[in-house]
Amino acid sequence: MKYQFANRMSNVKASAIREILKATADPQMISFAGGNPSAEAFPVKEIEKISADILSHEPISVLQYGITEGDQEFIQAATKFLNRHEQILTDKDQMLVTSGSQQIMEFAAKTLCNEGDVVVCENPSFLGALNAFKSLGAVLRGVEYKDGQLDLDALEKALQMEPKPKFIYLIPNFQNPTGMTMSLEVRKQILALAKKYEVLILEDNPYGDLRFEGEAIPSIKSLDQDGLVIYAASLSKIIAPGMRVACAVAPREIIQKFVVAKQASDVHSNLWAQKVMARYLCNYDMDAHIESIRKIYKNKCYLMLEEMKKHFHPSVQYTKPTGGMFIWVTLPEHVDMLTFVKKALEKNVAVVPGNAFLDDDTKECHSFRMNYSTPTDDKIREGVKILGQLTYEMCEVSS
């Protein structure tokens, strides 16, 4: 049988990260390629207890079908949680509980984009979102960074070009893959541009709570008075990604369309997970829990940066995140990044080639992504040393 697949999937490849992660199944491999929360960061005992309580006292509430919008108890708890420091959900908004925030990316493209419509994104940006947009027929228009911030002139040009984009996809806090954070001024200017050109913003904020240095910066959603922002909040990075619970917050009209998309997709998000999350948010000290995760990531990030400073060739540049899970490393131009990544893999260290995160992965790229949340401290020391030796071999040999 010759299988005939739909055109819309033709330019979506199996995720480069997933492919590399397959290689990391080898126990010898030191993986800086993932983006998983640290094994120490899960509130296992609490989840076990809440879950046992629910299953023994009200099992049918989580075993029966639920409503598409989400479990009311969870929606109330999540609204209170999201609005605790700034107003994310206003009177004009509605929330939809989704199966991870990945599903919000899918619904945004599904409900807003026709085949060939343009989505503006940061270049580089989160591969999972870019693949979701592409798989629904959208075309990516990437905007580069300049001096550590999104290039606003380039963004304005991208908004002026035809065809007019449907939305701008942004990760303002501790971006995946770069670890960079947008300044307040840049957020305000992006919002002003979105208003001027009447283009929606999809603000993806899975890492906002993982700040371990400096002051929180208001979300674009909290600055928006004009119904321009769709906000994606996820509990994956602060509670547990396996539970697949996230929240889309946006003007009602948009959420109503998302609800229809969800009915056609998976009917509703997992009720057990929503109930457990609701009770965890309400009955436990979330601030203390988040503080404990921040401490873990701060230590891991600083350890990785310290080891990189010690072992990496001085011509190699990298970001210094103040939160989140990733460091973006840039090799000098004369070093071939893909060869570097392959050689690292041969030495049992996995990182993700940076071109995987571009609007067009055939573009020249000298960067790769490193994750510090998943590996143990010993693996961080060992793996960075190996990469460091490789930077000396490759940066000096080819210079």
Ligand X SMILES: Cc1ncc(COP(=O)(O)O)c(C=O)c1O
**Where in 309-368 is the site for ligand X (CB under 6 A)?**
none
State how far the Cα of 173 lies from the Cα of 301, in Å rounded to an integer: 16
> Among residues 31, 236, 319, 322, which is the contact residue for ligand X, using CB under 6 A?
236
241 binds ligand X (CB under 6 A): yes
Q: How far is the CB of 177 from ligand X (least distance, A)?
A: 8
DSSP 209: G
Q: How far is the CB of 128 from ligand X (least distance, A)?
A: 6
209 binds ligand X (CB under 6 A): no
> Among residues 37, 43, 70, 100, which is the contact residue for ligand X, using CB under 6 A?
100
Q: How far is the CB of 397 from ligand X (least distance, A)?
A: 34
Encoded tokens for 392: 């000396």
Cβ closest to ligand X, residue 237 vs residue 289:
237
Q: In terms of Cα–Cα distance, which of 231, 287, 282, 284 is closest to 254?
A: 231
> Among residues 24, 94, 101, 391, which is the contact residue for ligand X, using CB under 6 A?
101
Q: Kindly write out the interface string for residues 52-91 of this chain, putting x where it contacts ligand X by CB under 6 A and - elsewhere.
A: ----------------------------------------
Q: How far is the CB of 60 from ligand X (least distance, A)?
A: 27
| Range in contact with ligand X (rule: CB under 6 A) among 80-88, 97-105, 182-190, 262-270 | 97-105
Task: Quote the Cα angle for 70-135-357, to 5°.
Answer: 100
171 binds ligand X (CB under 6 A): yes
Q: Assess contact for 248 and 229: CB atoms under 8 A.
A: no
Q: Kindly write out the interface string for residues 243-262 of this chain, putting x where it contacts ligand X by CB under 6 A and - elsewhere.
A: ---x----------------
Beta strands in 70-184 (DSSP E): 93-98, 118-122, 139-143, 145-146, 149-150, 167-170
**Where in 118-147 is the site for ligand X (CB under 6 A)?**
126, 128-129
State how far the Cα of 80 lies from the Cα of 180, in Å rounded to an integer: 27
| Range in contact with ligand X (rule: CB under 6 A) among 137-145, 189-197, 233-241, 385-393 | 233-241
Q: How far is the CB of 91 from ligand X (least distance, A)?
A: 26
Q: How far is the CB of 244 from ligand X (least distance, A)?
A: 7
Encoded tokens for 22: 């397959």
178 binds ligand X (CB under 6 A): no
State how far the Cα of 311 lies from the Cα of 317, in Å rounded to an integer: 12
204 binds ligand X (CB under 6 A): yes
3-state secondary structure of 288: helix
Q: Assess contact for 136 and 156: CB atoms under 8 A.
A: no
Instruction: List, in sequence order, the alpha helices (H) in 177-285.
Output: 184-197, 220-223, 252-265, 271-283
Query: For the chain, how many residues are written?
Result: 399
154-164 as b/e: b if 16+ CB within 10 A: bbbebbeeeee
Residue least distant from ligand X (Cβ): 100
Largest separation between any pair of C-alpha atoms in the chain: 68
Q: How many residues bind ligand X (CB under 6 A)?
A: 15
Q: Assess contact for 277 and 77: CB atoms under 8 A.
A: yes
Q: Which parts of this chain interact with ligand X (CB under 6 A)?
A: 35, 100-102, 126, 128-129, 171, 176, 204, 206, 234, 236, 241, 246
